[in-house]
Structure 1
């Protein structure tokens, strides 16, 4: 059986792996005023972060509709695939999951939709694993079992540089942002099983220390990768600080985060994607 893997651009995957496994990535929209851009197609991530402080209006993001996914599924059938496995960002964060369910009902080719219950590279690791298994001849059922287990063992910890962009995207109110600026508060996010939890830490150093404490409490790790919002050097520094917690022969991915998330969290953020044993 030939299985086509389809995903969305919120599930961060390195470009070289997208090409290697011929993954169909359906891009989200980046809307800046009256202009709309396809994520990764009409605007690169570097262009997005370079312009984030100077855009005339704060960017908003939008998910593609069911018709876009239906076209992607129909194209897979035209290319001779027998089944589509459509793997997506956590359903409580986006309308993407509902769009794919609707699209799946409108095409002839069998489509299995999987909710990763994760975001950014936390979801991307499931896509990458699915591709490797499909290439090796696994069934859709076998793939779903493995990536569901992987999702249950995946934790994303992210440190934001400022409260500013959470405010601009409507996630916090102006008064709280003012307090945060005064106290140098750094938002720290934990994401697991579809649920984001935010807490406020007063300095970047303390926030990194707390993040590493959380990682340590996870116990033995199978894999660790790093995500960042155009802060590669800070991401490398974070990885080095976590080095004693990282398994031997770990091969980290350093992934710049999708604008669909970056619009809310802003530049200079860093995070760890951890998979427990």
Structure 2
């Protein structure tokens, strides 16, 4: 029997078809326009093309889903038997996606609670999974939405980028860029805090930054049970090295995810990004 509360999210959660299928999560795609070609964030893509476009300064623009796309998702959920919907999305400080969801919710055939996760990637993904587990257990929509919000608030995302250039181009890092000035040798460690990107630490070399990233995750995880997601773009070796290091150093690791982000987030971070989301450990 399907849950009476349907869970909807957007593709920047990067959960993958297996997880969304298992937990009955509907995904509305965010899109990127790459040199005039529209790419759906849930469709397999060639990361090399994105890197080439970014390096060549070809136009790369991300595009939020229209309210009509969300309306279609809500109508399908209602037609499938849902009596309520919880729609969980990436930070409203980074995208207008949550605004589109709210507009669509006004005309939905069943009540819709829209949650701004104040996060992105698996910071959003873990919140969506928590909501889906609650819905699957029969929780009402208010409880499902609260679970998503609590999980997002209890999660932390720290990340490294090879260069701030792409974040600067996209207007996602104005205050951070001012803090760092023009010191091109700086390798920043960044944090997604309350929906916005902030500077965590400034390190002189990539190798030191990556080692410090691992240390920061271990410090943040502490002795509590945690789920960890290592996320990258065109940096599988870095991701594997970090995954192995964290697995060895986290005694209460519940589950480890390793995934490559899609073009929408990648358009803002550029290739080489390596990030980690730490969330409260949850049994599947």
TM tier relative to shorter chain: 0.7 to 0.9
Residue range with higher mean Cα deviation, 267-276 or 101-110? 267-276
Q: Which residue of 2 aligns with 1:51?
A: 49
Q: Which residue of 2 aligns with 1:6?
A: 8
Q: CA offset at residue 193 of structure 1?
A: 2.6
Report the secondary structure of 1:142's partner residue: helix
Distance 1:64 1:37 in 2: 12
Residue range with higher mean Cα deviation, 54-63 or 94-103? 54-63
Q: Which residue of 1 aligns with 2:18?
A: 16
Structure 1 residues not aligned, in runs of 5+: none
Q: CA offset at residue 25 of structure 1?
A: 0.7
Q: Note the 1:133-172 alignment, pairs <5 A.
A: 133-170=134-171
Q: CA offset at residue 51 of structure 1?
A: 0.6
Q: 8 Å contact 1:89–1:117 — kept in the other structure? A: yes
TM-score, with length taken from structure 2: 0.85
Distance 2:159 2:76 in 1: 36
Report the secondary structure of 1:53's partner residue: helix
Deviations 1:104-129 (A, max 9, x none): 00122111111111111111011112
Report the secondary structure of 1:273's partner residue: strand
Q: 8 Å contact 1:231–1:268 — kept in the other structure? A: yes
Distance 2:158 2:35 in 1: 31
Distance 2:151 2:172 in 1: 29
Q: 8 Å contact 2:4–2:84 — kept in the other structure? A: yes
Distance 1:27 1:143 in 2: 22
Q: Note the 1:184-263 alignment, pairs <5 A.
A: 185-198=186-199, 199-218=201-220, 219-223=222-226, 224-263=228-267
| RMSD over equivalenced CA pairs, Å | 2.5
Deviations 1:54-79 (A, max 9, x none): 23714210101212111111121122
Distance 1:164 1:125 in 2: 28
Distance 1:148 1:39 in 2: 24
* Aligned residue pairs, count: 270
- Which consecutive aligned stretches of 4+ in structure 1 deviate over 4 angstroms post-superposition? 170-173, 175-181
Distance 2:216 2:38 in 1: 39
Distance 1:125 1:14 in 2: 12
Deviations 1:45-104 (A, max 9, x none): 4x1x12123237142101012121111111211222111110111111111111111110
Q: Which residue of 1 aligns with 2:63?
A: 62
Distance 1:221 1:90 in 2: 26
Report the secondary structure of 2:12's partner residue: coil
Q: CA offset at residue 27 of structure 1?
A: 0.6
Q: Which residue of 2 aligns with 1:121?
A: 122
Residue range with higher mean Cα deviation, 134-143 or 111-120? 134-143
Q: Which residue of 1 aligns with 2:105?
A: 104
Q: CA offset at residue 203 of structure 1?
A: 0.8
Report the secondary structure of 1:54's partner residue: helix
Structure 2 residues not aligned, in runs of 5+: none
Distance 1:85 1:29 in 2: 22
TM-score, with length taken from structure 1: 0.87
